[in-house]
Every structure is written in structure tokens, then in C-alpha cells.
Amino acid sequence: MQTADEFIQHLELEQHVEGGYYCSSYRSAESFDDKRALWTSIYFLLRTGEVSNFHRLTADEMWYFHAGESLTIYMIDQEGTLTTAQLGLDLAAGQRPQFLVPKGSIFGSAMNQPGFSLVGCMVSPGFTFEDFKLFSQESLLELYPEHKEIIVRLSRCSGE
């Protein structure tokens, strides 16, 4: 069984601003518009104690489970409803090996057990940091105080 450090080294992952580690694995040669590829894909890895902090994209993002522990994707839709999806291979437990996060959702993720989780994320139209917004804990608590527990877990104070 490979370790998180081996995946980080062999896939040449680097720290991501939202938390965890990532690297671009593919950028479509076809373009969507002047700024974006038709689609892009990354490897993304979380280790014990790390989370993907709440953020939003202007494009759909398909998540694919690759290795390690399952994780939960937490999503707040445009009406403020919190939903979750289980990404993993235990189908009998309700996990799925792939899941689509719809554009405009505020979302983040966390592992369900200690260890690591390696996933792939495909964005269409292709990802750009101009289409990415990372949310502070304060801004989310102001908008969605009813989701305080998960917001505190999956976001940072603006001073951090």
C-alpha cells in the first residue's frame, strides 16, 4: 500500500491554497473561450487533519476517488441548503466512486477516517484561479449561521 508521502512525491503534488495537496494532471488542448480550456483535471490529496476549505467555482467539478480513505464532500447550494456526498468505494455504505459538484455551490471536503485520500477532480469548462473563490469563516458564518459546526471545521478565519 502506498503512503500519502509517496503519492505526494511521485505525482509531484504541492500545497493547495484551499488545503491539501494537488497538481494539474491534464489541460484540454481544445478551448472553451479565450481564457479557459474545454476541461482540466487535477490530482488532489488530503492527509489526516487536513481539509479542503469551503470554496466556489463557476464551473461543474467531477470528483473521482482513487485511493486511501473515503471522504465527505460538503456543499451549500445557492438557497443555503447543506448537503453531503460520500466519495469512496464502499457502495453498500452509500459511497460513490465519482460525484459531480454543481457550479455555484460552496463546497469543501474532509476525510472520514485517519490516513489519506487521493482523488481526481475534473472541471468543465476548465479551471482558472479567476473562477475560484475561497471563503473566510467570518463571511460564511454571517451568511449561514445554521451551518456553524461544519463552517468552523472547513474554513479559516480571515486573519489566518
Q: What is the pLDDT of residue 159?
A: 58
Q: How far is CA 22 from CA 25, 95, 98, 137, 138, in A?
A: 9, 23, 18, 23, 26
- C-alpha distances (whole Å) from 33 to each of 28, 37, 80, 113, 130 are 12, 7, 30, 40, 14
Which residues of the chain carry a pLDDT beneath 70?
A: 159-160
Hey, what domains does the chain have and what are their CATH numbers?
Answer: 4-134 (2.60.120.10)
- Predicted local confidence at residue 110, as pLDDT: 97
Q: What is the pLDDT of residue 105?
A: 97
**Residue 160's pLDDT is what?**
53
Identify the pLDDT of residue 1: 76
pLDDT, residue 47, reads 97
